[in-house]
Homo-oligomer: A and B are copies of this chain.
Amino acid sequence: MEVGEVDESTVVEEALEEATVVQEAMEESTVVQEALLELSREARELYLGGLPGPGGVHQARVQEVSSPPSALQFLRRHVSPNLPLVVRGGCAHWPAVASWSPAALRAALPATQVTVAVTPTGLADAAVGEQFVMPEERRMTMAAFLDQLEEPVEGEVYYVQRQNSNLTEELGELLGDVTELPWASEAFDRPPDATNFWMGDERAVTSMHKDPYENIYCVVRGHKDILLQPPTDLPWIPYRELTPAVYKQEGGVWSTSPTGDPPLPWVAVDPLRPDLATFPLYSNSTQLRCRLGPGDLLYLPSLWFHHLTQSQGCIAVNFWYDMEFDVKYNYFNLLNNIKKTISNRL
C-alpha cells in the first residue's frame, strides 16, 4: 500500500471499535442505574421494610422499644447497622419532662439571654426560591421569647434551634434537669460532642438534611413529627445549588441578603409533598415516620436524612456524638460519587 493511501479495512475496524466502546459505555450507564435501584430494593427487603405509598414513595416504620436497650444491644442492633430506634419513655425519668413548662422556664430564667432564629414563615436553613436562607439570629431574654410563643404574630416565627451546644453554653441553669443516656454514651464510648435545646413555634419546619453525627433526639414537652430516609436513598433525593442568604427584618419588613458564600447544594424535594412530576426518581426512596411525645427519644443514625415539624411550644433536647468515619461512610461517599452518573436524570 502506498504512503497516503487510505486503508478501508482499517477505517471500518476503527469505526467498529469506536461503536463497541460507545455501546459498552451505554450499557454501563444502565448497569449503574439498575445497581442503584437494587440497592434500595434490597435495603427494604433486608432491614427497612416498607410498601409503596401514595405516588409510589415507599413507607416504612421506625423500630420501637418500650425500655432502653443495653449499650451492647444498642451498638449491635442499631449503631453498627445504622438503623434508627424509637425508645418510648427513654427520657421520661428526666426532671425536665416533669417540670419544664413555659411558666416554669419563665420563672427559672427570666433574664437569661438566648439566641433565637426568627423567620417570616418558619423556614430556617431552607430553600426559598433560588436562595438557601438562614434565619435572623436575635439575642433576647427567655421571657421575651416565651411572650412570642404565647402570642404568635403573623409573619414572625421564633425558634430556639442553635446547634452550638446551646443547652450547655446558654442555658446552664437547666442542665441539672437532663441527664446523659448512659447506654448511648457507653455504646459510643464518649461523651456527647454537643447538647442542644430546641423550643419553638409550630410553624417552624426543619427542612430535609443529614448530619455527620450520631444523634439522640429527646422530646421533653409537646410532640415532634420526624420523617427519616436512609443514606442509601441518596441517589433518589434531588439536590440543587442555592445562593446562601440571611433573613433580616427592618421596620416590620422582611428581606434577604446573600452572604457572599459560594452556592450550596440543598435537598430540592419537600418530602411531605414530593413533586413527583419534577422528581420522578424520588419514588424509588423510602420514608420512615415517627411521632415522639414527652419522654420519648429517637436514635437518629448518622447520615440519615431527616425532616422535622412540631407542636406549638414543643421542647426537645438532643445529643450529638461524633460519628465513626468507617466503611459505611466510605460506601456512602461512593454512592455520592456514583450519583453523579444519573444526576442528569434527577
The residue from B22, B31, B72, B335 contacting A72, defined by CB atoms under 8 A apart: B72
Given contacts A39-B333, A72-B71, A81-B324, contact A22 B24 (CB under 8 A): no
As a 0/1 sequence over residues 318 to 338 of chain A, the CB contacts with chain B under 8 angstroms (1 = contact) are 000000111111110111011
Q: Do A189 and B46 touch (CB < 8 A)? A: no
Residue numbers in B under 8 Å from A46 (CB-CB)? 325-326, 329-330
- Tell me whether A26 is interfacial, beta carbon within 8 Å: yes
The residue from B35, B187, B232, B325 contacting A327, defined by CB atoms under 8 A apart: B232
Q: Do B25 and A340 touch (CB < 8 A)? A: no
* A248 smallest CB distance to B (angstroms): 40
**Interface-central residue, A32, A34, A71, A328, by most chain B CB under 10 Å:** A32
Residue numbers in B under 8 Å from A32 (CB-CB)? 28, 32, 338, 341
- Tell me whether A80 is interfacial, beta carbon within 8 Å: yes
Supply 13 A–B pairs (Cβ within 8 Å), ascending by A: A28-B29, A28-B32, A31-B340, A35-B334, A35-B337, A35-B340, A38-B334, A46-B325, A47-B330, A72-B75, A72-B187, A76-B189, A81-B328
Q: Which residue of B lies closest to A27 (CB)?
A: B341
The residue from B31, B326, B331, B342 contacting A80, defined by CB atoms under 8 A apart: B326
**Interface-central residue, A28, A36, A47, A230, by most chain B CB under 10 Å:** A28
Q: Do A327 and B81 touch (CB < 8 A)? A: yes
- Tell me whether A82 is interfacial, beta carbon within 8 Å: yes
Given contacts A22-B25, A22-B26, A75-B72, contact A47 B331 (CB under 8 A): no
Beyond A28-B340, A42-B333, 11 extra complex contacts between A and B, CB < 8 Å: A22-B25, A28-B32, A28-B341, A31-B340, A31-B341, A35-B337, A46-B326, A72-B75, A75-B75, A80-B324, A327-B328
- Tell me whether A79 is interfacial, beta carbon within 8 Å: yes
As a 0/1 sequence over residues 29 to 58 of chain A, the CB contacts with chain B under 8 angstroms (1 = contact) are 101101110110011001100000000000
* A326 smallest CB distance to B (angstroms): 4
Q: Do A330 and B42 touch (CB < 8 A)? A: yes
Q: Do B329 and A72 touch (CB < 8 A)? A: no
- Tell me whether A344 is interfacial, beta carbon within 8 Å: yes
- Tell me whether A186 is interfacial, beta carbon within 8 Å: yes
Given contacts A26-B25, A80-B75, A338-B31, contact A331 B333 (CB under 8 A): no
Residue numbers in B under 8 Å from A39 (CB-CB)? 330-331, 333-334
Bound Cα distance A25, B232 (Å): 23
As a 0/1 sequence over residues 239 to 280 of chain A, the CB contacts with chain B under 8 angstroms (1 = contact) are 000000000000000000000000000000000000000000
**Interface-central residue, A22, A31, A187, by most chain B CB under 10 Å:** A31
* A130 smallest CB distance to B (angstroms): 25
Q: Do B38 and A187 touch (CB < 8 A)? A: no
Given contacts A29-B29, A47-B326, A82-B327, contact A338 B71 (CB under 8 A): no
Residue numbers in B under 8 Å from A26 (CB-CB)? 21-22, 25
